[in-house]
Amino acid sequence: MKDGKPVVEWMILLIKDIKNVNKLREEAGFGQTVEDYAKDLLGHDFVFKNYTLEEALKLQNKK
């Protein structure tokens, strides 16, 4: 926490089947989409983006 706000760092979650992740979550009994889960966990101003491996590696190298 900094100034009463959570500090969020980049987090890369590898999702093998991004097109079907929410369908698979529902079948497994999870009530939320992965986007809604991330927003609940990280705050509603969180932006969920599906990065390609190349994009994720570029972001990682900017640290």
pLDDT, tens digit, 9 for 90 and up, residues 8-51: 666 666 788 888 999 999 999 999 998 898 888 888 887 778 88
CB atoms within 10 A of CB 28: 7
Q: Which position has the higher pLDDT, 3 or 1?
A: 3
Residue 33: predicted pLDDT: 92
Q: Could you give the count of Cα atoms lying within 13 Å of 2 in the half-sphere of its Cβ?
A: 3
Question: Who has greater pLDDT, 63 or 4?
Answer: 4
Global pTM value:
0.57
List the Cα angle 40/6/54 in 5-degree steps.
75
